[in-house]
A = this chain, B = another copy of it.
Amino acid sequence: MWDLDTPALVVDLDALEANLATMEATVRANGIAARPHAKTHKCPAIARMQLDAGAVGICVAKVGEAQALFDHGIEELLMTTSNVTPTKIRRAMGLRKQCPRFIQATDTEENARALSEAAAAFGVTADVVVDVDPGGHRTGITPGAPALGLAQLVDRLPGLRLRGILCYDGGSQHVKGFEVRQKQTLERLAAAADTCDRMRASGLDTGIFSGGGTGSYNIDHQTPGFTDVQVGSYVFMDAQYLEIGGKTDPEVYTDFEPSLTILATVLNAQYEGRATTDAGAKACTINRPWPIVKGETGMSYTSGSDEFGSIRYEDPSRTYKVGDRLELIVSHCDPVVNLYDRMFAVRNGRIEAVWPIAARGMST
């Protein structure tokens, strides 16, 4: 691994496998399931490991991601974003025709009618979940009467089969401190849970009540009727999630191990108190907190410039010379992965596999 040309994206298999095992053990003990989100890894090999570990399905954010994963053998797919244009709806129904276990989201009555018409045109029955807003007003329909009405419409419309609801509360995932996060998460899921109850009472299918993420994976099951967590970042971890704190340590989130790193090389070490590397914004993004130099202390790393990373020494555990390699814990895993075409899967520092990031750049 230390001979790789840099910048290179590396995933540690021991850490990755431990994260998969922790997630599966936790959700199973809590009586729910994992439906991991592939927007994080965009990698068929990891989706396959998640399904093999016991996940009930894989979430995707874009039709392009769904298609890329399906083309690589992943067939249990739930798309969490609504498809609103004729082009996107055609692509989704085209995928549905190939992939009987593809589930789509909707959040307006007009869209549900468009899906119904498209399903008829494609000669398929499309599985649909209603996306419910947790209060962030970003996507989803308002819980209560509006969501119930939409679910009833989906249930009635020809060509559609209602499968339940989504309620992804992105705004609660990075709330710092377990107790605060728990309180906010459960409060914001309450309206969706009530909607789910009312759907069940009116005879509708509520087999799926999916939401949550890496920050709330051990919280969401307390919501009645909740079925599965759309966890993404837990496979890799990153500097953003390390900061939120967990049940055992209020300062550092230690439930999962950082498995994803960027290898970088020092390009310039001739100036006092600093060094320059080959991993800048195009290799690391500019997300905050900045990447963390793994295994070292007393230095900070920034990737604010497009081509170059900067190390600043405060009270450094070591200094670098030109050509030295270093390993960075990523700032925010999702957009970092989206910069690379492949990741190197390593164990004990040796490369075991090179995994194509098949859905990299599949933003449509």
Contact = CB atoms under 8 A, between A and B. Distances in A.
A323 interface: yes
B282 A338 contact: yes
A330 to B, nearest CB: 13
A87 B5 contact: yes
A285 interface: yes
Interface string A276-316: 10110111011100000000000000000111101000000
Given A265-B85, A267-B84, A310-B138, A285 B286 contact: yes
A142 interface: yes
Contacts of A270: 107-108, 141-142
A81 B307 contact: yes
Contact of A339 (B82, B283, B338): B338
* Copies of this chain in the oligomer: 2
A340 interface: yes
B267 A81 contact: yes
A340 B360 CA distance: 10
6 contacts: A7-B364, A61-B306, A108-B322, A278-B363, A282-B338, A339-B339
Contacts of A287: 286
Main secondary structure of the interface of A (DSSP, over half): loop
B282 A335 contact: yes
User: 4 tightest A-B contacts by CB?
Assistant: A137-B271, A61-B307, A5-B364, A5-B87
Nearest to A170: B305
A341 interface: yes
A39 interface: yes
Interface string A95-127: 000000000000110110000000000000000
Given A87-B5, A268-B139, A364-B8, A111 B335 contact: no
A361 interface: yes
A274 interface: yes
Given A139-B267, A281-B335, A282-B335, 12 more contacts: A5-B85, A39-B306, A61-B307, A82-B267, A84-B322, A107-B268, A111-B322, A138-B305, A278-B364, A285-B286, A306-B335, A339-B339
A319 to B, nearest CB: 15
Contacts of A285: 285-286, 335
